[in-house]
Amino acid sequence: METVRCCVPGIERYIVSAIFYIIFVLGCVGNLLVILVVIKNKDVFRNTTNLFILNLAVADLFFLIFCVPFHATIYHVRHWMFGNFMCKLVHLVQYLSMMASILTLVAMSLDRFLAVGYPLSTKHIRTPIVALVISVVIWIVSCGVALQMFFVYTVRNYTSEDVTVCSDDWAPNYDHRRIYFLCLFLIGYIIPLISIAVPSALLIRQLWSLPVTEGPGLRGSNRAKRRVTRLVIVIVGLFFACWFPMHAIWMSVNWNPESWSRNYSYWHYYSRMFAQTLAYANSAMNPVIYAFLSTQFRKGFHRALHCARRSDGRATYVSGQHFSSKYRHSMVTQANSRPNNSCISFAGLAERRTSLTNATDTSV
């Protein structure tokens, strides 16, 4: 191992570690709330989008738990102190969750394209059972792609520099590393980007070319489809923007290794920090996107929070809407007949009331 002349660690390593810990806390809380809201939604297992959102939140949560805190620690400690098994496991889960996220985004994008473009002819395909099968296949394929990392990552001690690192060792076949990261770039970035960009472009074109329909039900359905589609496009766009720098560095390290060994500079040093920060932050961004772009998610969050605070099984206020005394009395009577199920009371009845004018998917 050659001695790197650059760079002398400074205060930036503590700043980056602090940012990583903030990303970790906010991301875990946000994704746990997403999982809670989706599970609390009574239509979760009747809606393909909700299942894919749940799958994406689980993948993001895995990435945050098994990746971010470990890398945050080594930025300011500069020694791997978690043992050889954790070295292997952390990088296995990192690549596994990354692939699961991107494949889930592909599935979400194609699901929205079929739901909006061909709602009737593909109704038999867009079912919860099919979504569950696709989710299982996504994790199996992702595990197959990431499994190699469990075998190549190991802890190495450099006594001359008094440092212990967790790194991948592909010796004696370094070319295998190049081939692997090239394949990862293709199947984990380029091909999914094309697979998502084409139907998304067709979807946007079709949505904005829809004629204005008559009646509140049809207009509400079109508005809801546009909101869900906008949500998917923003999530997908941020994913590719946040992960491109990391993929670019991986390709540069493997196909131009001399620039990272002999000519290592502050540009390389800070670009790696920037790329890692963006990649990690992406797993914490999705809950924020749901909160800002999805009305159903905001309602679901308030409903889940409201139900968690009540212990008597009765609800009198949902999403800021008050009801007349006669209507409230009717709903309270129904709510009282369902003990220990406060999340069904006003929320469920209110949803059934509004479903007459919003004929669309009930995704969060």
Residue-wise pLDDT tens digits, 129-149: 999 999 999 999 999 999 999
Q: How confident is the model at residue 22 (pLDDT cuts 50, 70, 90)?
A: very high
Work out the number of other CB atoms within 10 angstroms of the CB of residue 275: 19
Higher pLDDT, 272 or 158: 272
**pLDDT over threshold 80, residue 52:** yes
- Residues 6 or more apart whose CB falls under 8 angstroms from that of 311 comprise none
* Mean pLDDT of all residues in 210-226: 62
Whole-number pLDDT of residue 150? 94
Give 12-293's CATH code, choosing from 3.30.1340.30, 3.30.70.260, 1.20.1070.10, 1.20.1050.10.
Answer: 1.20.1070.10
- Residues 6 or more apart whose CB falls under 8 angstroms from that of 170 comprise 152, 176, 177
Q: How far is CA 108 from CA 155, 158, 255, 309, in A?
A: 38, 45, 33, 32
- How far apart, in whole angstroms, are the C-alpha atoms of residue 80 and residue 168? 13
Q: How confident is the model at residue 310 (pLDDT cuts 50, 70, 90)?
A: low
Please state, for a pLDDT cut of 90, what percent of the chain lies above it.
Answer: 23
- How far apart, in whole angstroms, are the C-alpha atoms of residue 247 and residue 279? 10
Q: How far is CA 10 from CA 4, 69, 70, 165, 275, in A?
A: 15, 20, 19, 19, 18
Is 60 within 8 Å of 110 (Cβ atoms)?
no
SS3 category, 109: helix
Q: How far is CA 297 from CA 38, 104, 218, 311, in A?
A: 8, 19, 21, 23
- How far apart, in whole angstroms, are the C-alpha atoms of residue 113 and residue 195? 11
* Mean pLDDT of all residues in 46-56: 85
Question: How high does pLDDT run on average in the chain?
Answer: 75
SS3 category, 146: helix
Per-domain boundaries in the chain? 12-293, 310-354
Whole-number pLDDT of residue 114? 87
**pLDDT over threshold 90, residue 195:** no
